[in-house]
A and B are shown apart, each in its own frame.
Chain A
Amino acid sequence: MSALSVRGLHRSVGATQILRGIDLDVTAGEAIGIIGPSGSGKSSLLRCIAGLDPIAAGSVAVEGRATRPGDGAVGMVFQQFNLWPHLTARQNVALALRLVRKLPVREADARAEAALAQVGLAALAARKPAALSGGQQQRVAIARTLAMEPRVLLFDEPTAALDPELTTEVLDVIRALAAGGTTMLVVSHEMGFVAGLATRVVFLDHGQVVQSGPPAEIFSQRAEPRIQAFLQTYLSRVAWVQA
């Protein structure tokens, strides 16, 4: 049984088709990289899997069961972190443990601190989001999601809102999770990161999967021309300085 199974997923808003029949099967422990042009439907796909956006047709199942938001099956990390600004890092992580998992305060706090330690933020547990850098905020957001132990973890451009020098600390955390066997889908424009992380890369365009395969296939001359054209725009941004 696959960890995540997406079948014939359609999403439309009014007459606009945003996702047009997505099929995706993810085995436990896989890290799926999702790439594609802006507006191709990457965020929509993750949001439909999480249950945040309604689907017009098709199905999403985690470990064989249909999901709904809040059932703990799917965790999501957003581009904008979405931390709660009035709570400290520890409280951000502990809140759902207390209210949803009904853990006593001390146990929730202990688990929150463990989750923060896992993302390297044990020392900053008492800070509010405004007193943290973007990279630190995103790591708190990851800890908050991890603490609830979702079966599948979704990342929607987790470093897109960060200054370049802060992306590494977040990417390192995601890499460590993938190495530890967390089942995840990662939308990212950090192509080198995706190539190194993903067991499989899915290229999306106009709400459809153009091609899906191991990184060595997608990031190569064998990929579809549309993918090569897309990747070309990234290659042209890299500065090469030759001695």
Chain B
Amino acid sequence: MMAATWATIWISAAGIAIGFALGVPLAVAAQRWWARLYISFFRGVPLLVQLLLAYYALPFLGIDLPGIVAAVGTLGLCCAAYMAEILRGGFALVPRGGLEAARLLGLTPTQTLLRIRLPIAAQAMRPALVNEAILIIKASSLISVVGILELTRSAQALASSTFEPLPAYALCGAIYLIINLSLSFAARARPA
């Protein structure tokens, strides 16, 4: 169960990191048709179906992904759609004047994005971003369908091998709770 806990943590962390990294350009391009299409797809289709598509359907198109790649990739792509929506709201809060100052001082659009727009937006939307990260950690229980032994799957295995579901699932729930509480605590403790 220890190993499965680490699997949940690092797979979620990777998914969240990918989600954030892809969410930024998606948020910048949020008005474009392809960004809208992307966001509607990943927000509109259940994560479970996305996982099944990535792992069981893509091979029919000649794309054969290892389970771990399908799991991290799908979590990340799905997370990106939500991160993009959150960051788009954050970008709208960045005062125009600060961007004009940056432009006059000679910062490039990319520098302005990374040094000014993104920090201000992420700061303003921190509770929503943390919330999304927590949702991803919980949703990572679904990746057992692509054959990854993560926390929930290992609790199921423990419950059926010991015939004692109560301690197995209680422990599993407690571990999720500790992970998520630590995350929100860490996010709150960081100075503004």
Which secondary structure dominates chain B's binding surface?
A: helix
Residue numbers in A under 8 Å from B111 (CB-CB): 99
Q: Is the CB of B105 within 8 A of A96?
A: yes
B108 cross-chain contacts in A, Cβ below 8 A = 99
List the A residue with the shortest CB-CB distance to B118: A86
- A interface, how many residues as a size bin? 20 to 34
- In angstroms, Cα B109 to Cα A228, docked, is 45
**Chain B residues with Cβ under 8 A from A148's Cβ?**
105-106
Q: Pick out which of these stretches binds chain A: B92-100, B168-176, B177-185.
A: B92-100
- Report the separation of the CA atoms of residues A81 and B115 in the bound assembly, to the nearest whole angstrom: 18
Name 13 extra pairs, CB < 8 A, besides A51-B104, A84-B116, A145-B105.
A74-B104, A75-B105, A82-B101, A83-B98, A85-B98, A86-B116, A86-B119, A86-B123, A95-B105, A96-B106, A100-B105, A100-B106, A144-B105
Is A80 among interface residues, defined by CB-CB distance under 8 A?
yes
- Cβ-neighbour of B104 out of A69, A80, A83 (below 8 A): A69
| Closest B residue, CB atoms, query A81 | B97
**Range, interface on chain B:** 10 to 19
B188: Cβ under 8 A from any A Cβ: no
Closest beta carbon of chain B to A218's beta carbon, Å: 29
Mark B residues whose CB is within 8 Å of A: 95, 97-98, 100-108, 111, 115-116, 119-120, 123
The 8 A CB mask of A25-51 against B (1 = contact, 0 = none) is 000000000000000000000000011
Instruction: Report the separation of the CA atoms of residues A144 and B107 in the bound assembly, to the nearest whole angstrom.
Output: 13
Residue from the list A78, A95, A144, A145 in contact with B97, Cβ < 8 A: A78
> For A144, what are the chain B residues with a Cβ–Cβ distance below 8 Å?
101, 105
Contact between chains at B100 and A82 (CB < 8 Å): yes
In whole Å, how far is A75's beta carbon from the nearest beta carbon of chain B? Answer: 7
Closest 5 pairs between A and B when the two form their complex, measured CB to CB? A82-B97, A100-B106, A96-B105, A70-B106, A82-B101
